Chains A and B, each alone.
Chain A
Amino acid sequence: MAKYDELPGKDHIIRHVPYGKLRRDENEKTIGIEFTAFQLREEDQGNLSTTWLEYTQRSRDEQLIESLKYIRTSRAASAKSALAIAKVEKVKSVCVPRRVRVLHDPETGNPAHAIVTSFPTDEVALLEALASDVWSEFILVGQVDASGKAR
């Protein structure tokens, strides 16, 4: 796949979410993602940074381990942070009518890097829908690390 090609709708993208943007219950158990995980910074230029899970054609566990390795080339990912996973076609359907696109955008150190363009960062209710319904699957980084060590 070439740079800026659109990812297949059935594939998945991962967003790394730090501890402070994870949703916890009253017992401090992580139960999901906060909408704040999708607030962009100025330097993001309207694009949400993600990693393409299916970049490598391996088992799901191996894809998660590989994706985490790529993510760690640009940022720290502690055991209590998480990888949130979303299906590409669901991201696009929930963001209608913004017509977002999910594009392969390889970077140095992360050949699986992907961006969601025209991301609706100011529409908080939409960010909540993305957090609660689209990026609803997540795995703690500590679990991915443990699975990698077990191999």
Chain B
Amino acid sequence: MVERTYEQLLFEKLSRLSVEMSRIAMHLNEDWRSGIFSQLSTMLSTEEWDRADKLPDSSAFITFLRLITYWRFRKRPGIGVSTDGNTVASWSQNGDRVTVECFPNDQIRWVLGRSAGGELETAAGRTNLTRLRDVISPYGIQEWVFDG
């Protein structure tokens, strides 16, 4: 059995995630496709990847793709990966922040931080991706997160 180098593992993971993205490419415009791929390819390069972290989980990445196609977001998110390999998407506006950690099977953890009367207010919870808008709407930030 031929042992693969870490560089090969990173390349294979990037290829796998790219294939998953190609399946829903028709639902994303060119700006989103190229922006997401650009962040993924930088993140999974040998220079940038932190080898102590788990490689991105493909099922969690599929949840991320379902998230960005189920909802219409106002802006393309910044993309990252958690220590456990879950895809993380984030949006920011004037110091307010929303972050969504994607798990397999459409499960997400949302985390938000916003300024309320000059003080930082934070909140977090877990839900299905189809509930995201409902659960963050009490915080009055959905108008800059979602389109329409």
Residues 37-61 of B contacting A (Cβ, < 8 Å): 38-39, 42-43, 47-50, 52-53
Please measure, in the bound complex, the distance between the C-alpha atom of A58 and the C-alpha atom of B55, giving whole angstroms: 39
The contact of A39 among B43, B48, B83, B97, by CB within 8 Å, is B83
Q: List 20 A-B contacts (CB under 8 A).
A: A18-B50, A18-B53, A20-B50, A21-B50, A21-B81, A22-B78, A26-B35, A28-B38, A32-B92, A34-B99, A36-B88, A39-B82, A79-B47, A80-B47, A124-B109, A125-B111, A126-B122, A128-B97, A128-B111, A132-B122
Please measure, in the bound complex, the distance between the C-alpha atom of A133 and the C-alpha atom of B113, giving whole angstroms: 9
The answer to whether B92 touches A31, judged by C-beta atoms less than 8 angstroms apart, is yes
Residues on A with C-beta less than 8 A from B42 are: 19, 80
Residues on A with C-beta less than 8 A from B66 are: none
Which chain A residues have a beta carbon within 8 Å of chain B's beta carbons?
A: 18-26, 28, 31-32, 34-36, 39-41, 75-76, 78-81, 124-129, 131-133
Contact A129-B120, Cβ < 8 Å, known A19-B43, A19-B48, A34-B90: yes
The answer to whether A41 touches B111, judged by C-beta atoms less than 8 angstroms apart, is no
Residues on A with C-beta less than 8 A from B47 are: 76, 78-80
List 19 additional A-B contacts (Cβ < 8 Å) besides A20-B50, A22-B80, A23-B80. Answer: A18-B48, A19-B43, A21-B50, A22-B78, A23-B99, A24-B78, A25-B75, A28-B78, A32-B97, A34-B80, A36-B80, A39-B84, A41-B83, A124-B109, A125-B124, A128-B111, A128-B124, A129-B122, A132-B113
Chain A interface helix/strand/loop/mixed: mixed
Contact A24-B83, Cβ < 8 Å, known A32-B92, A81-B48: no
Residues on B with C-beta less than 8 A from A25 are: 75, 78, 92
Most chain B beta carbons < 10 A, residue from A20, A75, A124: A20
Residues on A with C-beta less than 8 A from B35 are: 26, 28
Q: How far is the CB of B29 from chain A (nearest CB, A)?
A: 13
The contact of B122 among A36, A76, A128, by CB within 8 Å, is A128
Contact A41-B99, Cβ < 8 Å, known A35-B111, A124-B111, A124-B124: no
Contact A23-B83, Cβ < 8 Å, known A18-B48, A124-B124: no
Q: How far is the CB of B13 from chain A (nearest CB, A)?
A: 12
Please measure, in the bound complex, the distance between the C-alpha atom of A106 and the C-alpha atom of B2, giving whole angstroms: 40
The answer to whether B92 touches A20, judged by C-beta atoms less than 8 angstroms apart, is no
Closest to A43 in B: B52
